[in-house]
């Protein structure tokens, strides 16, 4: 299944492939997500994975990529990135169970994920740190640390009225 994760209708796309599973999925919903979103201005993922588009016949949608390298890491690119990730999370919430768990692996050197969580009306319940010692990209041999953000639904604020 390919598409723009900000807008894709998962139920409709699954229905095209397996209607019975789509029916089950729409009733039970998804318990969680584990993903590694793109990083701000670090890699052009469409270019890095060009072979997959060719092998599987996927349509390239380079203009829809969130955080591509060619946009850089300036303030405008960061604002676009935050907005894009928030839109993805908000779209995903439609398909998640009430008590969902989302784990996002991120090189958050700009400390964007607390703001992303807030804008998506989620809370970060835990952050796991993991070292990255080897990388596949060219000219990237310096080790660094990634964070795995565990996100959950933000508890809704209750309005208390005392009757007075």
The answer to whether residue 19 sits within a structural domain is yes
Q: What is the pLDDT along the chain (164 residues), one digit of tens a residue?
A: 889 999 999 999 999 999 999 999 999 999 999 999 999 998 888 888 889 889 999 888 888 999 999 999 999 999 999 999 999 999 999 999 999 999 999 989 999 999 999 999 999 999 999 988 776 655 566 777 899 999 999 886 444 455 54
DSSP the chain: --S-TTT--HHHHHHHH-HHHHHHHHHH-EEEEEE-PPPTTS--HHHHTHHHHHHHTPPP-GGG-SS-GGGTTSHHHHHHHHHHHHHHHHHHHTTEEEEEEEEEEE--TT--HHHHHHHTTEEEEEEEEEEE---SSTT----EEEEEEEEEEPPPPPPP----
Residue 92 in domain: yes
User: Are 110 and 41 in contact, with CB atoms under 8 Å apart?
Assistant: no
Domain that holds residue 110: 10-153
State the pLDDT at residue 35.
Answer: 96
The per-residue pLDDT for 139 is 56
Which pLDDT score is estimated for 137? 57
For residue 3, being part of any structural domain is answered with no
Nearest to 83 by CA among 66, 96, 68: 66
- Residue 162 domain-assigned (yes or no): no
Measured distance CA(158)–CA(161) in Å, rounded: 10
Q: Considering the domain boundaries, does residue 160 fall inside one?
A: no
Q: What is the pLDDT of residue 158?
A: 45
Quick one: pLDDT at residue 1?
Answer: 84
In a domain, 5, yes or no: no
**Domain for residue 159, yes or no?**
no
**Which pTM was predicted?**
0.86
Specify if 34 maps to a domain: yes
Overall number of domains in the chain:
1
Rg (CA), the chain: 18
Q: What is the distance between the alpha carbons of residues 6 and 118, in angstroms, rounded to a whole number?
A: 17
pLDDT recorded at residue 157: 46
For residue 47, the model assigns a pLDDT of: 86
């Amino acid at each position: 299944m390919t598409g723009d994760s900000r807008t894709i209708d998962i139920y409709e796309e699954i229905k095209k492939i397996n209607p019975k599973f789509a029916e089950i999925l729409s009733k039970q919903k998804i318990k969680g997500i584990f993903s590694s979103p793109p990083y701000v201005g670090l890699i052009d993922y469409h270019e890095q994975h060009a072979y997959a588009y060719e092998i599987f016949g996927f349509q390239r949608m380079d203009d829809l990529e969130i955080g591509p390298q060619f946009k850089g890491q300036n303030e405008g690119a960061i604002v676009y990135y935050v907005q894009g990730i928030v839109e993805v999370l908000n779209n995903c919430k439609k398909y998640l169970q009430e008590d969902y768990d989302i784990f996002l692996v991120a090189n958050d050197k700009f400390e964007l994920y607390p703001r992303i969580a807030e804008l998506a009306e989620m809370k970060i319940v835990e952050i796991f740190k993991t070292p990255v010692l080897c990388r596949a990209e060219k000219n990237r041999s310096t080790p660094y640390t990634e964070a795995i953000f565990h996100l959950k639904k933000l508890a809704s604020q209750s309005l208390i009225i005392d009757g007075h």
